[in-house]
Protein backbone atom coordinates (compact mmCIF):
# COMPACT_ATOMS: atom_id res chain seq x y z
CA UNK A 1 0.00 0.00 0.00
CA UNK A 2 1.23 3.52 -0.65
CA UNK A 3 -0.19 6.65 0.96
CA UNK A 4 0.18 10.39 0.42
CA UNK A 5 1.97 12.18 3.23
CA UNK A 6 0.12 15.46 3.84
CA UNK A 7 -0.77 15.72 7.53
CA UNK A 8 -4.31 16.76 8.41
CA UNK A 9 -4.79 20.42 9.30
CA UNK A 10 -5.06 21.24 13.00
CA UNK A 11 -7.87 19.71 15.07
CA UNK A 12 -9.08 23.24 15.82
CA UNK A 13 -10.21 23.71 12.22
CA UNK A 14 -10.59 20.20 10.79
CA UNK A 15 -13.87 18.48 11.63
CA UNK A 16 -12.73 14.87 11.06
CA UNK A 17 -10.29 13.33 13.51
CA UNK A 18 -10.12 9.62 14.30
CA UNK A 19 -10.05 8.75 18.00
CA UNK A 20 -6.52 8.01 19.27
CA UNK A 21 -4.63 5.78 18.91
CA UNK A 22 -5.17 6.10 15.18
CA UNK A 23 -3.40 5.29 11.91
CA UNK A 24 -2.69 8.38 9.78
CA UNK A 25 -3.30 8.78 6.06
CA UNK A 26 -6.46 9.60 4.10
CA UNK A 27 -5.26 8.53 0.69
CA UNK A 28 -3.51 5.54 -0.85
CA UNK A 29 -4.00 2.39 -2.86
CA UNK A 30 -3.86 -1.20 -1.64
CA UNK A 31 -4.31 -4.70 -3.01
CA UNK A 32 -6.94 -7.12 -1.72
CA UNK A 33 -5.24 -10.23 -0.36
CA UNK A 34 -8.21 -12.17 1.03
CA UNK A 35 -11.98 -11.69 1.31
CA UNK A 36 -14.60 -13.07 3.70
CA UNK A 37 -17.19 -15.50 2.31
CA UNK A 38 -19.98 -12.88 2.25
CA UNK A 39 -17.97 -10.26 0.34
CA UNK A 40 -19.48 -9.77 -3.12
CA UNK A 41 -17.84 -6.69 -4.68
CA UNK A 42 -14.14 -7.46 -4.14
CA UNK A 43 -11.82 -10.37 -4.82
CA UNK A 44 -8.14 -11.11 -4.17
CA UNK A 45 -5.90 -9.12 -6.52
CA UNK A 46 -8.28 -6.14 -6.81
CA UNK A 47 -6.88 -2.66 -6.24
CA UNK A 48 -8.76 -0.58 -3.69
CA UNK A 49 -8.76 2.98 -2.39
CA UNK A 50 -10.54 4.43 0.67
CA UNK A 51 -14.27 5.05 0.09
CA UNK A 52 -14.21 7.78 2.79
CA UNK A 53 -11.77 9.97 4.70
CA UNK A 54 -10.08 8.68 7.84
CA UNK A 55 -9.36 5.08 6.80
CA UNK A 56 -5.74 5.28 7.98
CA UNK A 57 -3.63 4.35 4.96
CA UNK A 58 -0.15 4.55 6.51
CA UNK A 59 -0.07 0.80 7.13
CA UNK A 60 1.06 -2.30 5.32
CA UNK A 61 -2.01 -4.43 6.15
CA UNK A 62 -5.56 -3.94 7.37
CA UNK A 63 -8.94 -5.67 7.64
CA UNK A 64 -11.94 -3.56 6.53
CA UNK A 65 -15.63 -3.99 5.75
CA UNK A 66 -16.03 -3.98 1.96
CA UNK A 67 -18.12 -0.77 1.98
CA UNK A 68 -15.08 1.13 3.33
CA UNK A 69 -13.14 0.36 0.13
CA UNK A 70 -13.68 1.35 -3.48
CA UNK A 71 -12.40 -0.89 -6.27
CA UNK A 72 -10.26 0.88 -8.86
CA UNK A 73 -8.99 -0.55 -12.14
CA UNK A 74 -5.50 -2.01 -11.91
CA UNK A 75 -4.58 -0.87 -15.44
CA UNK A 76 -3.94 2.73 -14.32
CA UNK A 77 -0.53 3.86 -12.98
CA UNK A 78 -0.16 3.07 -9.27
CA UNK A 79 0.64 6.73 -8.43
CA UNK A 80 -2.61 7.82 -10.10
CA UNK A 81 -4.55 5.25 -8.08
CA UNK A 82 -2.82 6.28 -4.81
CA UNK A 83 -3.74 9.94 -5.32
CA UNK A 84 -7.21 9.46 -6.85
CA UNK A 85 -9.59 9.46 -3.89
CA UNK A 86 -9.32 13.12 -2.79
CA UNK A 87 -7.80 15.69 -5.14
CA UNK A 88 -9.00 14.55 -8.60
CA UNK A 89 -12.47 13.84 -7.16
CA UNK A 90 -12.51 17.32 -5.58
CA UNK A 91 -11.43 18.95 -8.86
CA UNK A 92 -14.10 16.97 -10.75
CA UNK A 93 -16.88 18.08 -8.38
CA UNK A 94 -15.70 21.72 -8.29
CA UNK A 95 -15.93 21.90 -12.07
CA UNK A 96 -19.22 19.99 -12.33
CA UNK A 97 -21.44 21.00 -9.43
CA UNK A 98 -21.50 24.81 -9.18
CA UNK A 99 -21.79 26.29 -12.68
CA UNK A 100 -22.92 24.69 -15.95
CA UNK A 101 -19.72 25.24 -17.88
CA UNK A 102 -19.53 24.69 -21.63
CA UNK A 103 -16.46 24.50 -23.90
CA UNK A 104 -14.95 27.97 -24.29
CA UNK A 105 -15.97 29.11 -20.78
CA UNK A 106 -13.21 29.97 -18.34
CA UNK A 107 -12.34 29.21 -14.73
CA UNK A 108 -9.91 31.05 -12.45
CA UNK A 109 -8.16 29.33 -9.53
CA UNK A 110 -5.48 30.15 -6.98
CA UNK A 111 -2.87 27.68 -5.61
CA UNK A 112 -3.03 26.38 -9.17
CA UNK A 113 0.05 24.21 -8.64
CA UNK A 114 -1.57 22.32 -5.74
CA UNK A 115 -2.70 18.73 -6.17
CA UNK A 116 -6.29 19.88 -6.67
CA UNK A 117 -5.15 22.72 -8.96
CA UNK A 118 -3.21 20.37 -11.26
CA UNK A 119 -6.27 18.12 -11.55
CA UNK A 120 -8.50 21.15 -12.28
CA UNK A 121 -6.18 22.21 -15.13
CA UNK A 122 -6.25 18.76 -16.71
CA UNK A 123 -9.97 18.01 -16.32
CA UNK A 124 -10.86 21.50 -17.60
CA UNK A 125 -8.55 21.09 -20.59
CA UNK A 126 -10.17 17.76 -21.47
CA UNK A 127 -13.59 19.51 -21.39
CA UNK A 128 -12.54 22.51 -23.51
CA UNK A 129 -12.70 24.90 -20.54
CA UNK A 130 -10.01 27.59 -20.33
CA UNK A 131 -8.10 28.02 -17.08
CA UNK A 132 -6.53 31.12 -15.53
CA UNK A 133 -4.10 29.87 -12.94
CA UNK A 134 -2.78 31.95 -10.05
CA UNK A 135 0.43 30.90 -8.28
CA UNK A 136 2.78 32.54 -5.78
CA UNK A 137 5.88 34.17 -7.24
CA UNK A 138 9.11 32.18 -6.67
CA UNK A 139 12.66 31.98 -8.00
CA UNK A 140 11.88 29.08 -10.35
CA UNK A 141 8.61 30.55 -11.67
CA UNK A 142 9.41 29.90 -15.39
CA UNK A 143 9.97 26.20 -14.61
CA UNK A 144 6.67 25.96 -12.74
CA UNK A 145 4.87 27.81 -15.55
CA UNK A 146 6.28 25.40 -18.11
CA UNK A 147 5.09 22.43 -16.05
CA UNK A 148 1.56 23.80 -15.69
CA UNK A 149 1.44 24.69 -19.41
CA UNK A 150 2.38 21.10 -20.21
CA UNK A 151 -0.60 19.99 -18.14
CA UNK A 152 -2.84 22.23 -20.27
CA UNK A 153 -2.99 25.54 -18.38
CA UNK A 154 -4.10 28.42 -20.65
CA UNK A 155 -2.90 31.37 -18.54
CA UNK A 156 -0.58 31.42 -15.53
CA UNK A 157 -0.21 34.55 -13.45
CA UNK A 158 1.25 35.46 -10.08
CA UNK A 159 -0.83 36.82 -7.21
CA UNK A 160 0.74 40.26 -7.82
CA UNK A 161 -0.38 40.25 -11.46
CA UNK A 162 -4.01 39.84 -10.39
CA UNK A 163 -3.95 43.52 -9.46
CA UNK A 164 -2.33 44.80 -12.69
CA UNK A 165 -4.19 46.44 -15.61
CA UNK A 166 -2.57 43.89 -17.97
CA UNK A 167 -5.13 41.38 -16.70
CA UNK A 168 -7.45 42.98 -19.30
CA UNK A 169 -5.30 41.45 -22.07
CA UNK A 170 -6.26 37.94 -20.95
CA UNK A 171 -9.94 38.75 -21.41
CA UNK A 172 -9.39 39.82 -25.02
CA UNK A 173 -9.10 36.15 -25.98
CA UNK A 174 -11.27 34.36 -23.38
CA UNK A 175 -14.43 35.32 -21.49
CA UNK A 176 -14.28 36.38 -17.85
CA UNK A 177 -14.63 33.34 -15.59
CA UNK A 178 -18.02 32.19 -14.33
CA UNK A 179 -16.31 30.05 -11.70
CA UNK A 180 -13.48 30.89 -9.27
CA UNK A 181 -11.87 28.18 -7.13
CA UNK A 182 -10.38 29.42 -3.90
CA UNK A 183 -7.80 27.35 -1.99
CA UNK A 184 -6.06 30.28 -0.27
CA UNK A 185 -8.16 33.01 1.42
CA UNK A 186 -7.04 36.54 2.35
CA UNK A 187 -5.83 39.03 -0.26
CA UNK A 188 -5.37 36.44 -3.01
CA UNK A 189 -9.07 35.64 -2.86
CA UNK A 190 -10.28 39.25 -2.80
CA UNK A 191 -8.15 40.04 -5.88
CA UNK A 192 -9.26 36.90 -7.72
CA UNK A 193 -12.91 37.73 -7.09
CA UNK A 194 -12.51 41.04 -8.95
CA UNK A 195 -12.25 39.12 -12.23
CA UNK A 196 -15.34 36.95 -11.78
CA UNK A 197 -18.29 37.57 -14.15
CA UNK A 198 -21.42 39.15 -12.64
CA UNK A 199 -23.53 36.41 -11.02
CA UNK A 200 -20.47 34.13 -11.12
CA UNK A 201 -19.65 31.67 -8.33
CA UNK A 202 -16.59 31.43 -6.13
CA UNK A 203 -16.14 28.11 -4.34
CA UNK A 204 -13.83 27.95 -1.34
CA UNK A 205 -12.34 24.50 -0.70
CA UNK A 206 -9.05 25.32 1.09
CA UNK A 207 -7.57 28.02 3.32
CA UNK A 208 -3.81 27.79 2.82
CA UNK A 209 -3.12 31.44 3.83
CA UNK A 210 -5.07 30.93 7.08
CA UNK A 211 -6.83 34.26 6.40
CA UNK A 212 -10.57 34.85 6.12
CA UNK A 213 -12.26 35.45 2.80
CA UNK A 214 -12.92 39.18 2.43
CA UNK A 215 -15.46 40.32 -0.14
CA UNK A 216 -16.06 43.95 -1.08
CA UNK A 217 -19.67 44.97 -0.54
CA UNK A 218 -19.75 46.20 -4.15
CA UNK A 219 -19.13 42.65 -5.41
CA UNK A 220 -22.39 41.57 -3.80
CA UNK A 221 -24.47 44.64 -4.67
CA UNK A 222 -23.32 45.45 -8.19
CA UNK A 223 -22.15 42.03 -9.42
CA UNK A 224 -24.31 39.67 -7.36
CA UNK A 225 -21.45 37.19 -6.95
CA UNK A 226 -22.25 33.87 -5.26
CA UNK A 227 -19.98 32.44 -2.58
CA UNK A 228 -20.08 28.72 -1.91
CA UNK A 229 -17.99 26.10 -0.11
CA UNK A 230 -17.10 22.50 -0.85
CA UNK A 231 -15.84 19.54 1.18
CA UNK A 232 -15.29 16.20 -0.54
CA UNK A 233 -15.84 14.29 2.71
CA UNK A 234 -19.33 15.81 3.01
CA UNK A 235 -20.10 15.06 -0.64
CA UNK A 236 -19.23 11.41 -0.04
CA UNK A 237 -21.46 11.29 3.06
CA UNK A 238 -24.31 12.94 1.14
CA UNK A 239 -23.91 10.43 -1.70
CA UNK A 240 -23.39 7.28 0.39
CA UNK A 241 -26.66 5.86 -1.01
CA UNK A 242 -26.03 7.17 -4.52
CA UNK A 243 -23.42 4.73 -5.79
CA UNK A 244 -24.32 5.64 -9.40
CA UNK A 245 -22.92 9.17 -8.97
CA UNK A 246 -19.80 7.84 -7.26
CA UNK A 247 -19.25 5.25 -10.01
CA UNK A 248 -19.87 7.82 -12.77
CA UNK A 249 -17.24 10.14 -11.26
CA UNK A 250 -14.68 7.36 -10.81
CA UNK A 251 -15.29 6.06 -14.36
CA UNK A 252 -14.88 9.53 -15.84
CA UNK A 253 -11.61 10.09 -13.94
CA UNK A 254 -10.20 6.65 -14.83
CA UNK A 255 -11.06 7.25 -18.51
CA UNK A 256 -9.12 10.52 -18.41
CA UNK A 257 -6.18 8.73 -16.77
CA UNK A 258 -6.21 5.96 -19.40
CA UNK A 259 -6.27 8.54 -22.19
CA UNK A 260 -3.27 10.32 -20.63
CA UNK A 261 -5.37 13.45 -19.96
CA UNK A 262 -5.10 13.17 -16.16
CA UNK A 263 -1.75 12.35 -14.62
CA UNK A 264 -0.65 11.95 -11.01
CA UNK A 265 0.55 15.21 -9.41
CA UNK A 266 4.28 15.87 -9.32
CA UNK A 267 5.47 13.43 -6.62
CA UNK A 268 8.44 12.56 -4.44
CA UNK A 269 8.44 8.89 -3.45
CA UNK A 270 9.69 8.40 0.11
CA UNK A 271 10.33 5.07 1.88
CA UNK A 272 8.22 4.80 5.04
CA UNK A 273 11.24 4.95 7.36
CA UNK A 274 11.96 8.48 6.05
CA UNK A 275 8.47 9.71 6.97
CA UNK A 276 9.89 12.61 9.01
CA UNK A 277 11.55 14.07 5.91
CA UNK A 278 8.28 13.62 4.00
CA UNK A 279 6.28 15.43 6.69
CA UNK A 280 8.79 18.30 6.79
CA UNK A 281 8.81 18.65 2.99
CA UNK A 282 5.01 18.63 2.89
CA UNK A 283 4.93 21.74 5.09
CA UNK A 284 7.57 23.78 3.20
CA UNK A 285 6.48 26.47 0.70
CA UNK A 286 7.24 26.23 -3.03
CA UNK A 287 7.96 22.48 -2.99
CA UNK A 288 5.25 21.69 -5.58
CA UNK A 289 5.62 17.95 -5.03
CA UNK A 290 3.39 15.47 -3.21
CA UNK A 291 5.17 13.27 -0.71
CA UNK A 292 4.19 9.66 -1.40
CA UNK A 293 5.02 7.13 1.32
CA UNK A 294 6.09 3.75 -0.03
CA UNK A 295 4.99 1.01 2.37
N1 LIG B 1 -12.50 20.86 0.54
C2 LIG B 1 -12.06 19.70 0.06
O3 LIG B 1 -12.82 18.76 -0.17
C4 LIG B 1 -10.60 19.55 -0.19
C5 LIG B 1 -10.11 18.48 -0.95
C6 LIG B 1 -8.75 18.42 -1.22
C7 LIG B 1 -7.90 19.37 -0.69
N8 LIG B 1 -8.42 20.36 0.08
C9 LIG B 1 -7.57 21.41 0.67
O10 LIG B 1 -7.00 22.10 -0.40
C11 LIG B 1 -5.72 22.56 -0.02
C12 LIG B 1 -4.72 22.09 -1.05
O13 LIG B 1 -4.65 20.68 -1.00
P14 LIG B 1 -3.64 19.92 -1.97
O15 LIG B 1 -3.57 18.51 -1.59
O16 LIG B 1 -4.02 20.23 -3.36
O17 LIG B 1 -2.31 20.67 -1.52
P18 LIG B 1 -0.82 20.69 -2.02
O19 LIG B 1 -0.69 19.90 -3.28
O20 LIG B 1 0.04 20.38 -0.87
O21 LIG B 1 -0.64 22.24 -2.41
C22 LIG B 1 -0.68 23.26 -1.48
C23 LIG B 1 -0.84 24.54 -2.27
O24 LIG B 1 -1.07 25.63 -1.40
C25 LIG B 1 -0.21 26.69 -1.77
N26 LIG B 1 0.05 27.52 -0.60
C27 LIG B 1 0.56 27.12 0.57
N28 LIG B 1 0.60 28.16 1.45
C29 LIG B 1 0.10 29.22 0.78
C30 LIG B 1 -0.11 30.59 1.13
N31 LIG B 1 0.19 31.06 2.34
N32 LIG B 1 -0.65 31.41 0.21
C33 LIG B 1 -0.97 30.95 -1.03
N34 LIG B 1 -0.77 29.67 -1.42
C35 LIG B 1 -0.26 28.81 -0.52
C36 LIG B 1 1.02 26.01 -2.31
O37 LIG B 1 1.71 26.90 -3.13
P38 LIG B 1 3.31 27.09 -3.13
O39 LIG B 1 3.83 26.14 -4.15
O40 LIG B 1 3.42 28.50 -3.52
O41 LIG B 1 3.82 26.79 -1.75
C42 LIG B 1 0.36 24.89 -3.11
O43 LIG B 1 -0.11 25.38 -4.36
C44 LIG B 1 -5.48 22.05 1.39
O45 LIG B 1 -5.86 23.08 2.28
C46 LIG B 1 -6.43 20.89 1.50
O47 LIG B 1 -6.81 20.65 2.83
C48 LIG B 1 -9.73 20.48 0.32
pLDDT, averaged in runs of 10, over the chain (295 residues): 48 74 94 97 97 93 96 97 97 98 98 98 98 96 97 97 95 97 97 97 97 96 98 96 95 98 95 94 90 94
The Cα–Cα gap between 22 and 4 comes to 16
pLDDT of residue 7: 46
Name every residue whose Cβ is closer than 8 Å to that of residue 122 and which is 6 or more positions away in sequence.
Answer: 151, 152, 256, 261, 262, 263
Q: Whose CA is nearest to atom 42 of ligand 1?
A: 114
CA of residue 284 to ligand 1 center, whole Å: 11
pLDDT of residue 8: 46
pLDDT of residue 12: 57
Residue extent(s) of CATH 3.90.180.10 domains in the chain: 2-83+264-294
CATH architecture of the domain with range 2-83+264-294: Alpha-Beta Complex (3.90)
pLDDT of residue 15: 81
pLDDT of residue 135: 98
Residue extent(s) of CATH 3.40.50.720 domains in the chain: 87-233
Which atom of ligand 1 is found nearest the CA of 209?
Answer: 31
Active site residues: 14
pLDDT of residue 1: 46
The Cα–Cα gap between 237 and 56 comes to 18
* CATH for 87-233, options being 3.30.9.10, 2.60.40.10, 3.40.50.720, 3.40.50.1370: 3.40.50.720
CA of residue 222 to ligand 1 center, whole Å: 31
Amino acid sequence: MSGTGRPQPSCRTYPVLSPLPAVGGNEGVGEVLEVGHRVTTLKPGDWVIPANAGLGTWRTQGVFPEEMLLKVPSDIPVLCAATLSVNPCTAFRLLADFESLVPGDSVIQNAANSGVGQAVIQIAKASGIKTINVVRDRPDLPKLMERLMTLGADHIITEEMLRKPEMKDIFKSIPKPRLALNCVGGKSTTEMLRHLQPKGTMVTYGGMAKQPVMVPVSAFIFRDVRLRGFWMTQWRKDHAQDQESVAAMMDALCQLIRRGQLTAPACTEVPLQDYRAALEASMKPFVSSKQILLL
